[in-house]
Copies of this chain bind each other. A is one copy, B any other.
Amino acid sequence: MSDAEFFFEQIRSAGCLSYLLGCVREKICIVIDPELDKADDYVGLARFFKSKLLYAIDTHTHADHNSACKVMRERHGVQVVMHAETEAPYVDIRVRDADAINFGQCSLQVIHTPGHTQDAMCLLFKDRIFTGDTLLIGGCGRTDLPGGNAEAQYHSLLKLKALARELRVYPGHDYREAVSTLADEQQKNPRMQIASKEEFVHFMTSRKPPLPRKIEEALEWNRTPIQGTQRGSGEGI
């Protein structure tokens, strides 16, 4: 199966990361670690890819945000998948280490990685691994919350260390600031490296990416007064 045969979206909700993953051919998709506030977004994305949302998978029992699993189950008939150790009562399919979660021709391999919680698991898919809170970029889930166990977490990280080093890590959170420096941008940002005005203008005008999805709504909103009122005349500071 080539990359073109699956679709993949990372959906961010503040520091929480969810993933929509689906088979192009069979038009079946799943969502990993859905967040309650974004429930409609996953459904909309599944629709965008003309696919049926089959499973909502939580990599573990979250202690910091509300899962959308049970809402998606009730409202959209999505089946909820979690590790067998979970205490969550709304789980349709309980999986264990080395199980496969199949959807269409796609398959996720379960790796049980207790430590952050007893029911934590990572999900291996082709060139990538969804690590939940077991492994974060630059960190790992804490082990002092309910179900946490530092020794188990050590062994779970050992399990991950034994996997192929090229695997792309997609974690359950990313709290890092989005920041750079002018020096870095001058060194790495292609737009900062074009030395002549003519080349720059050519570069910027030669492509026409699609318009922002909400451009009409946004410009209408951002250019009109609220409820017809118009306070203030716009003095300079």
Which residues does A use to contact B, with CB under 8 Å? 10-15, 17, 36, 58, 61-67, 70-71, 73-74, 79-81, 84, 87-96, 99-102, 129, 135, 137-140, 142-146, 150-151, 153-155, 157, 160-161, 163-171, 174, 176-186, 188-192, 194, 197, 200-201, 204-205, 208-209, 211-215, 217-219, 221-227, 229-232, 234-237
Contacts and interface: CB of A to CB of B under 8 A. Distances in A.
Given A144-B205, A188-B138, A222-B88, A168 B181 contact: yes
A73 B65 CA distance: 30
Given A62-B218, A215-B63, A10 B150 contact: no
Given A87-B223, A89-B230, 12 more contacts: A63-B219, A65-B218, A89-B223, A94-B234, A101-B237, A129-B182, A139-B190, A153-B204, A161-B192, A169-B180, A169-B181, A169-B184
This chain's copy number in the assembly: 2
Contacts of A168: 179-181
Given A12-B12, A74-B226, A177-B10, A204 B165 contact: no
Most buried by B among A17, A74, A87, A90: A90
* Residue with the highest number of chain B CB atoms closer than 10 Å, among A64, A95, A160, A197: A64
A50 to B, nearest CB: 22
